[in-house]
Amino acid sequence: MNTSLSIRRLAKHFDGVQALKSLDLEIPAGRLVTLLGPSGCGKTTLLRMIAGISDPTAGEIWLAGRRIEDVAPERRNFGMVFQTYALFPHMSVEKNVAFGLEMRGIKKAEIARRVAAALDLVGLAHLGKRLPRQLSGGQQQRVALARAVVIEPDVLLFDEPLSNLDAKLRDTLREDLRILQKKLGITSVYVTHDQSEAMALADEIVVMKDGEIVERGTPIDLYRRPTYRFTAEFLGMTNVIGGDLSGNQCRLPWGAVRQVENPGEKDAEGIAIRPEDIGIEAADGEFDGVIEHAVFMGAAIHYQVRAAGHTLRVLSTGGQNGVLEAGQQVKLTPPPAVHLLKTFRPAERVPV
Choosing among Mg ion, ligand ADP, none, which partner's interface includes residue 148 (Cβ < 5 to 8 Å by kind)? Answer: none
Using the rule CB under 5 A, is 44 a contact of Mg ion?
yes
CA 266 vs CA 34, 319, 344: distances in Å: 28, 39, 13
Using the rule CB under 6 A, is 7 a contact of ligand ADP?
no
Name which of 52 and 128 has its Cβ closer to ligand ADP: 52
Element (H, E) at 116: helix 108-121
Choosing among ligand ADP, Mg ion, none, which partner's interface includes residue 17 (Cβ < 5 to 8 Å by kind)? Answer: ligand ADP
Taking the complex as a whole, the smallest distance from the CB of residue 188 to ligand ADP amounts, in Å, to 17
Q: How many C-beta neighbours within 10 Å does residue 112 have?
A: 13
Choosing among ligand ADP, Mg ion, none, which partner's interface includes residue 45 (Cβ < 5 to 8 Å by kind)? Answer: ligand ADP
Using the rule CB under 6 A, is 88 a contact of ligand ADP?
no
Name which of 103 and 347 has its Cβ closer to ligand ADP: 347
Choosing among ligand ADP, Mg ion, none, which partner's interface includes residue 19 (Cβ < 5 to 8 Å by kind)? Answer: ligand ADP
Cα distance between residue 157 and residue 115, in whole Å: 20
Name which of 16 and 89 has its Cβ closer to ligand ADP: 16
Cα distance between residue 118 and residue 220, in whole Å: 32
CA 285 vs CA 52, 105, 300, 319, 333: distances in Å: 57, 71, 20, 18, 5
# of chain residues touching ligand ADP (CB under 6 A):
11
Contacts of residue 113, Cβ cutoff 8 Å, sequence gap at least 6: none
Taking the complex as a whole, the smallest distance from the CB of residue 209 to ligand ADP amounts, in Å, to 10
Sheet of strand 257-260, all strands in order from the earlier edge strand to the far edge: 239-241, 268-273, 337-342, 257-260, 249-251, 244-246
Taking the complex as a whole, the smallest distance from the CB of residue 86 to ligand ADP amounts, in Å, to 17
Name which of 44 and 96 has its Cβ closer to ligand ADP: 44
Taking the complex as a whole, the smallest distance from the CB of residue 76 to ligand ADP amounts, in Å, to 19
Cα distance between residue 79 and residue 184, in whole Å: 13
Name which of 195 and 316 has its Cβ closer to ligand ADP: 195
Cα dihedral sign, 139-141-145-150: positive
Name which of 55 and 292 has its Cβ closer to ligand ADP: 55
Choosing among ligand ADP, Mg ion, none, which partner's interface includes residue 161 (Cβ < 5 to 8 Å by kind)? Answer: none
Of 11-19, 143-151, 168-176, 339-347, the window that binds ligand ADP (rule: CB under 6 A) is: 11-19
Burial class (CB in 10 A: 0-12, 13-18, 19+), 96: buried
Site string for ligand ADP, 35-54 (x = CB under 6 A): --x-xxxxxxx---------
Q: Distance of alpha carbon 313 from its chain centroid, rounded?
A: 23
Pairing mode, strands 287-296 and 329-333: antiparallel
Choosing among Mg ion, ligand ADP, none, which partner's interface includes residue 195 (Cβ < 5 to 8 Å by kind)? Answer: none
Name which of 44 and 239 has its Cβ closer to Mg ion: 44
2 close to 27: Cβ distance less than 8 angstroms: no
Please give the residue ranges that form the binding site for ligand ADP (CB under 6 A): 14, 17, 19, 37, 39-45
Site for Mg ion, rule CB under 5 A: 44
